[in-house]
Amino acid sequence: MATLAPEAPALAVDPLDVSRPELYRDDVWQAPFRELRATSPVHRVEHSGFGPYWSVSTYKPIVHVESMPELFSSQAGGITLADFIEQDPTDVRMPMFIAMDRPKHTGQRRTVAPAFTPSEMVRMTDNIRMRTAEILDTLEWNTPFDWVDTVSVELTTQMLAILFDFPWEDRRKLTFWSDWAGDIELVKSPELRLERLKHMYECGAYFQNLWNGKVGKAPTPDLISMMIHSDAMAEMDQMEFLGNLILLIVGGNDTTRNTMSAIAYGLDLFPDERAKLEADPALIANTVQEVIRWQTPLAHMRRTATADTVLEGQQIKAGDKLALWYLSANRDESVFPDADRIIVDRPNARRHLAFGHGIHRCVGARLAELQIAILLEEMAKRRMRVNVLGEPERVSACFVHGYRKLPVEISRY
Ligand code: HEM
């Protein structure tokens, strides 16, 4: 009789493996990060769903790593803990400039940067305000609804449609593609990888049509036209075109969306702070920074060491991957006292790392801040308070840090 080979013993869960998606789904990531910051700010995890990695969890070493882009590459292994799977036809590499090093990164970033200058922000303000007002004015007072879909998703999707000059009636496609592209957990399943690839190709084909419609025409102030009329991007191959589109779609969508949801959820958690803001709308600009800090919509970015080095006394080897946990740096008590609380007049809220630091610092930061500030201003004009009716449903992933559903009702204060 054949004997069965003994099963390999299952590995015990490592309590300091902060890449586990359930920590974010269940909102219990705070304790392991507190321990990491206190005992091991640069910490090696041997076994995880994404293989071995270093967790960098305090403020200072994250700034250090992001200030040395040659030593800590964005390109060598991409910007999330999920590795590209070589020789797997369901995992296709889509180059995007967030995951490029100098000099290529510089040229491509320069192409889209004009869409986010202060003068562009001034140009867009009235339109953003009008759309925000329109959405807020459709809300029923004292009646339950889902804030995520009705307000956060709708507002950010409209913004993206405008940035891309995307057909208005199809704009929810942008949300759909963004959700698929930003979910790094999918990498763990071949079936889901394949499905994702299908959706990414649909996205590529749709945009290719839009691109074809603009080639040879006079420049217009949208991102596709900017790409067509730039030397650095006009010659991109299909995959690079798709990669950069997806970067802008995910970059502009999930992040701002989840901050808008955090405005509702977070201010309800700290009613004294909400009262301060309601009494003094001059605090709106600082509240925007504080809620972005508190939420940190992208929990980490990854870097890959290009040479052996030492970080906070730890020996990092060339090829090692590092997760820079902005989420944790933004709760670093040595920089932000009482960091788990939203404090609307926190003096140094602006120092947060939610947009990253250095050459890859978020190119869309001004636009995100503008949209969130206008949302708060228009709520204040209507004396609108959002009351949370139950726990949110959260995204189960260690990259996009956000909400799927948030039951609320609005009342007047
Ligand atoms: C880069 C966060 C909004 C487009 C980044 C990075 C972070 C980030 C952490 C990477 C930094 C690094 O690797 O060091 C956020 C947050 C946002 C937001 C928290 C909202 C609250 C936006 C918006 C857009 C955008 C509205 C565009 C419409 C980009 C792009 C990059 C980027 C294109 C790549 C920049 C580069 O590699 O040079 N963002 N982002 N983001 N973001 Fe944002």
Q: Mean pLDDT, consecutive 10-residue segments, the chain of 413 residues?
A: 50 92 97 98 96 98 98 94 72 82 92 89 94 97 98 95 94 91 79 88 91 90 86 77 84 92 98 98 98 98 98 98 98 98 98 98 96 97 98 96 97 97
Cα pseudo-dihedral 204, 177, 363, 129, rounded to 10: 120
**Pocket probe mutation, ligand 1, options 96, 260, 355, max atoms within 8 Å of Cβ:** 355
Residues 283, 277 contacting (CB under 8 angstroms)? yes
Cβ burial of 46 (10 Å; 0-12, 13-18, 19+) is exposed
Q: Is 104 in the pocket of ligand 1 (CB under 6 A)?
A: no
Alpha carbon distance 40, 44 (integer Å): 9
Alpha carbon distance 325, 162 (integer Å): 32
Q: Is 109 in the pocket of ligand 1 (CB under 6 A)?
A: yes
Alpha carbon distance 289, 346 (integer Å): 9
DSSP tag of 220: -
Q: What is the CA radius of gyration of the chain?
A: 22
Q: Is 255 in the pocket of ligand 1 (CB under 6 A)?
A: yes
pLDDT attached to residue 87: 62
Alpha carbon distance 194, 410 (integer Å): 41
pLDDT attached to residue 3: 44
Q: Is 324 in the pocket of ligand 1 (CB under 6 A)?
A: no
Q: Is 259 in the pocket of ligand 1 (CB under 6 A)?
A: yes
* Cα–Cα nearest to 23, from 313, 344, 356, 300: 300
> CB-hemisphere CA count at 13 Å for 260?
32
Task: Please give the span between the terminal C-alpha atoms of the chain, in angstroms, as a whole number.
Answer: 77
Q: Is 98 in the pocket of ligand 1 (CB under 6 A)?
A: yes
Element (H, E) at 63: helix 59-66
Helical packing angle, 154-164 and 118-138, nearest 10°: 140
Cα pseudo-dihedral 188, 190, 193, 197, rounded to 10: 160
The CA 255 to ligand 1 mean position distance, Å, reads 8
The CA 248 to ligand 1 mean position distance, Å, reads 8
The CA 142 to ligand 1 mean position distance, Å, reads 35
The CA 338 to ligand 1 mean position distance, Å, reads 26
Alpha carbon distance 154, 280 (integer Å): 27
Instruction: Cite the beta strand spans of 115-271 per DSSP E.
Output: 145-146
Q: Is 111 in the pocket of ligand 1 (CB under 6 A)?
A: no
pLDDT attached to residue 88: 64
Closest C-alpha residue for ligand 1 atom 36: 360
- String of b and e for 223-251 (b: at least 16 CB within 10 Å)? bbbbbbbbebbeebeeebbbbbbbbbbbb
Closest C-alpha residue for ligand 1 atom 32: 362
Give the pair of three-digit tokens for residue 308: 């052996």
Residues 49, 188 contacting (CB under 8 angstroms)? yes
pLDDT attached to residue 322: 98
Q: Ligand 1, closest atom to CA 74?
A: 13
pLDDT attached to residue 85: 66
Residues 239, 93 contacting (CB under 8 angstroms)? yes
**Pocket probe mutation, ligand 1, options 298, 362, 366, 369, max atoms within 8 Å of Cβ:** 362
Closest C-alpha residue for ligand 1 atom 1: 362
Which amino acid is it at 30?
Q
Closest C-alpha residue for ligand 1 atom 31: 362
The CA 302 to ligand 1 mean position distance, Å, reads 14
pLDDT attached to residue 2: 43
pLDDT attached to residue 77: 92
> CB-hemisphere CA count at 13 Å for 407?
6
Instruction: Cite the beta strand spans of 14-105 per DSSP E.
Output: 42-45, 53-56, 72-73
